[in-house]
Amino acid sequence: MKVLEGLKYSKDHEWVKVDGNKAYIGITDHAQHSLGDIVFVEIPEEGIDINKGDVLSVVESVKAASDVYTPVSGKIIEVNEELEDSPEKINEDPYTNYIAVVEMSDISELEELLNMQEYERYCEEE
């Protein structure tokens, strides 16, 4: 399982890369391994407001469909439309293939997320 330094992680297996007040959000390597071959990614709508814990997307694999929850609140300002035609990119590299970018409305929500070491421990205990 690959976990990257410098990202924040949720217990629902989403990662967050912070760039100023922007949060790039995707699913972790652990999540994509658990799902197996990803065949569909529901792309969220740009411009909508979303609250922490809301469903951001749905990722479907040959095994199951799984909700992707947003770990932060804000407005969706960008989506990764490439995933519509090539959902398997998440299997190839989950950390460069984000699902959406959220302009955060409450940066303090990041404090509730896990760092690399905490996330690795969490996955081992799961």
State pLDDT tens for residues 56-93. 999 999 989 999 999 999 999 999 999 999 999 999 99
Q: Is residue 38 part of a domain?
A: yes
Q: Is residue 95 part of a domain?
A: yes
SS3 56: strand
Largest CA distance in the chain: 37
Q: Is residue 125 part of a domain?
A: no
Q: Is residue 117 part of a domain?
A: no
Domain count, the chain: 1
The residue segments making up the domain with residue 64 are 8-109
Number of other residues whose CB lies within 10 A of the CB of residue 103: 16
pTM: 0.96
What Cα–Cα distance (Å) separates residue 120 from each residue in 1, 35, 37, 47? 9, 18, 22, 33
Here the CATH number for the domain that contains residue 75 is 2.40.50.100
